Amino acid sequence: MTLADDERTRAAWPHAFGARFVVRAGRQLHLALEIRNTGASAFTFEAALHTYLAVSDVRRIRLHGLENTGYLDKVGGTVRKREGAAPITFTGETDRVYPDTTSACTVEDPDWKRRIVVAKSGSRSTVVWNPWSAKAGTMDDLGGAAWTGMVCVETANVAADARALAPLACHVLEAIIAVELD
């Protein structure tokens, strides 16, 4: 899938660019977003691959790979916090940006007896998100109890990881998702 700048895109973002999104499915799911600066001026952009991962119940999963990592907690304002040594568990609305992260994250789902591994390249930030019940009820695309069956572990270029592209330069943001069964 491709997108190039035109009058409509320049009304929202005044830069010359090309974007290409590539999906390859097999034993792993490969998602790649390529952003190219097609203009004569440098620009800076943010991007995230919003991967909604299906889980048995978000309240029972554990997320490995971000232990002892600082993050920006965006629930109720942007506050700097730090994870402890244990895997992340979910007990309420979660909207966090983990800067300076390059390693894979693993969603451990004991009820479905599997792990979802999200590896990445071209990214030094990770977003973890679940709206929880109150916020999900206000969302047209995620109402009811759907929030219990999903978690987002997003490969991102956000905040301090926003990317600057020189004229004619290109950046590729890639997520590789695999499921491992117990």
- Helix H, strand E, coil C: the string for 127-181 is EEEECHHHHHCCCCCCCCCHHHHEEEEEEEECHHHCEEECCCCEEEEEEEEEEEE
Walk along the chain (182 residues) in steps of 10 and give the mean pLDDT of each run: 96 97 98 98 98 98 98 94 98 97 98 98 98 88 88 98 98 99 94
Residue 2 Cα to chain centre, angstroms: 20
pTM as predicted: 0.94
Q: What is the DSSP letter of 1?
A: -
pLDDT computed for residue 136 by the predictor: 87
- The whole-angstrom separation of Cα 108 and Cα 146 is 19
pLDDT computed for residue 140 by the predictor: 84
- The whole-angstrom separation of Cα 46 and Cα 6 is 19
Q: In terms of C-beta density within 10 A (0-12 exposed, 13-18 middle, 19 or more buried), how is residue 16 classed?
A: middle
pLDDT computed for residue 141 by the predictor: 82
Residue 79's region, left for phi above 0, alpha for psi from -120 to 50, else beta, is beta
Instruction: Catalogue all structural domains in the chain, each as residue range(s) with its CATH number.
Output: 2-181 (2.70.98.10)
